[in-house]
């Protein structure tokens, strides 16, 4: 019990430190802009009075550490000030775009799980045989297609063959939930394809490794069938290592969603970010970047705790295998 408490405490401490480093990286990027921020924002034609007013408004006259602390306070209380481009609070803008980006990432994660697990189990059943070769070849090719290229190709194909596939028509989940899922389905698939291949490859390798383990031989000598051994021993064991891999895949899916939104014209965080970058809206950029990164920090933290719950060996060693 004492081990468990120290473990959780040390992980929480690590979580806090990671969040601080992430915030520092985000803040630093915007504080070490070459040249004067105010003149960058207002352009070369601005008068000295205008520049001074903006500096005052952005707090650029305060010392760096003070600005960081007040920014950090804002970040953790959800108040990052107003966007310079849209004139609305940063938090409000971000929340309004969440359903698209999160819906897209979540849907593609489901696709990854639903497709990669069964194919990896079938493939590793008889390595080198037909189905293994079949899935592996598809895996190789789909790994190499960038999501935005796949999106373009699927737009090309669907527009030629089926006419239209909800492209560019985003439906709010509050109005029509099935319409919402439907319009995100194709983009989610495009985001997911390379990651399905990645998850498949990882799971296949890890199942094959587990299969050679001695405990599988023990169970065989006790008369268990291969299917039972797969579900009772091999899959639970490979799941432990899959948790980390899947959390990294989730991060990639989120990153992929930001780009694919742009191809399908979906009003998500990715588009908001690009608009903000285009209009040099620094409070908004830093808000989006920090919150997305902070979310992944928490996802990794949860994955770590989950792994610890699944694998008794980790509990003893304080989280290190």
Nearest to 283 by CA among 68, 4, 58: 58
**Smallest distance, Å, CB 275 to other proteins?**
11
Q: How far apart, in whole angstroms, are the C-alpha atoms of residue 20 and residue 289?
A: 14
Residue reference for tokens 């707090």? 59
Instruction: State the helix-helix crossing angle for 90-125 and 130-143, rounded to 10 degrees.
Output: 150
Residues 269-298 that bind other proteins (CB under 8 A): 273-274, 277, 280, 285-286, 289, 292-294, 296-297
Contact 108, 257 (CB under 8 A): yes
Dist. CA 68–CA 221, nearest whole Å: 63
140-169 residues near other proteins, rule: CB under 8 A: 140-141, 143-149, 152-153, 155-156, 159-160
Please pick, from the candidates 90, 258, 266, 272, the single residue that binds other proteins as defined by CB under 8 A.
258
> Least separation, in Å, of the C-beta of 315 and other proteins?
9
The span from the CA of 127 to the CA of 116, in Å, is 16
Q: Is 318 in the site for other proteins (CB under 8 A)?
A: yes
Q: Is 196 in the site for other proteins (CB under 8 A)?
A: no
Backbone φ and ψ for 82, nearest 5 degrees, come out as -100, 150
25 binds other proteins (CB under 8 A): yes
Q: Which helix (H) or strand (E) holds 294?
A: helix 282-310
276 with 83: CB under 8 angstroms? yes
Helix (H, G, I), strand (E, B) or coil at 82: strand
Least distance between other proteins and beta carbon 94 (Å): 14
In sequence order, what are the beta bridge partners of 89?
82
Q: Is 302 in the site for other proteins (CB under 8 A)?
A: no
Distance CA 149, CA 207 (A): 31
Return the closest-CA partner of residue 276 out of 147, 131, 94: 94
Identity of the residue, 111 or 250, whose beta carbon is nearer to other proteins in the bound complex: 250
Report the residue number, 98 or 177, with the smaller CB distance to other proteins. 98
Which of 94, 240, 242, 307 lies at the binding interface for other proteins (CB under 8 A)? Answer: 240
Question: How many other CB atoms are there within 10 angstroms of residue 290's CB atom?
Answer: 22
CA 305 – CA 139 distance, rounded (Å): 30
Q: Taking CB under 8 A as the rule, does residue 29 contact other proteins?
A: yes
Name which of 179 and 255 has its Cβ closer to other proteins: 255
Q: Which of 16, 88, 220, 231 binds other proteins (CB under 8 A)?
A: 220
- Residue 259 makes contact with other proteins by CB under 8 A: yes
Asked if 33 is part of the footprint of other proteins (rule: CB under 8 A), the reply reads yes
Integer angstrom CA distances of residue 49 from 53, 61, 249, 282: 6, 14, 49, 21
Nearest distance in Å: CB 50, other proteins: 22
- Count of residues that interact with other proteins, criterion CB under 8 A: 75
Q: Is 208 in the site for other proteins (CB under 8 A)?
A: no
Site track for other proteins across 81-120, x = CB under 8 A: ----------------------------------------
Q: Which has the closest alpha carbon to 60: 39, 91, 82? A: 39
Nearest distance in Å: CB 214, other proteins: 4
Report the residue from 224, 245, 305, 306 that binds other proteins according to the rule CB under 8 A. 224
> Residue 255, interface with other proteins (CB under 8 A)?
yes
């Amino acid at each position: 019990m004492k081990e468990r408490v120290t473990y959780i405490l040390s992980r929480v401490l690590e979580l806090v430190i990671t969040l601080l480093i992430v915030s520092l990286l985000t803040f630093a990027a915007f504080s070490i802009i070459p040249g004067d921020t105010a003149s960058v924002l207002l352009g070369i034609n601005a008068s000295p009075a205008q520049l001074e007013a903006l500096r005052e408004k952005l707090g650029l006259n305060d010392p760096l550490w003070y600005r960081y602390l007040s920014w950090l306070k804002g970040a953790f209380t959800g108040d990052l000030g107003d966007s310079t481009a849209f004139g609305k609070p940063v938090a409000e803008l971000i929340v309004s775009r969440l359903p698209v980006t999160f819906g897209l990432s979540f849907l593609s994660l489901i696709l990854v799980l639903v497709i990669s697990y069964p194919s990896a189990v079938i493939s590793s059943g008889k390595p080198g045989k037909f189905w293994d070769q079949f899935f592996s070849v598809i895996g190789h090719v789909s790994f190499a297609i960038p999501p935005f290229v796949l999106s373009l190709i699927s737009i090309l194909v669907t527009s030629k063959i089926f006419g239209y596939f909800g492209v560019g028509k985003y439906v709010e989940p509050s109005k029509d939930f099935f319409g919402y899922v439907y319009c995100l389905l194709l983009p989610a698939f495009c985001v997911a394809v390379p990651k399905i291949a990645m998850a498949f490859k990882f799971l296949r390798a890890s199942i094959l490794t587990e299969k050679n383990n001695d405990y599988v031989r023990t169970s065989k000598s006790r008369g268990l069938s291969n299917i039972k051994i797969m579900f009772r021993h091999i899959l639970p064991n490979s799941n432990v290592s899959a948790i980390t891999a899947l959390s990294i895949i989730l991060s990639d899916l989120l990153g992929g969603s930001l780009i694919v939104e742009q191809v399908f014209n979906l009003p998500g965080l990715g588009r908001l970010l690009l608009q903000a970058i285009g209009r040099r809206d620094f409070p908004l950029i830093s808000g989006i970047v920090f919150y997305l990164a902070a979310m992944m920090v928490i996802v990794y933290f949860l994955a770590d705790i989950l792994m610890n719950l699944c694998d008794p060996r980790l509990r003893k060693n304080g989280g290190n295998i």
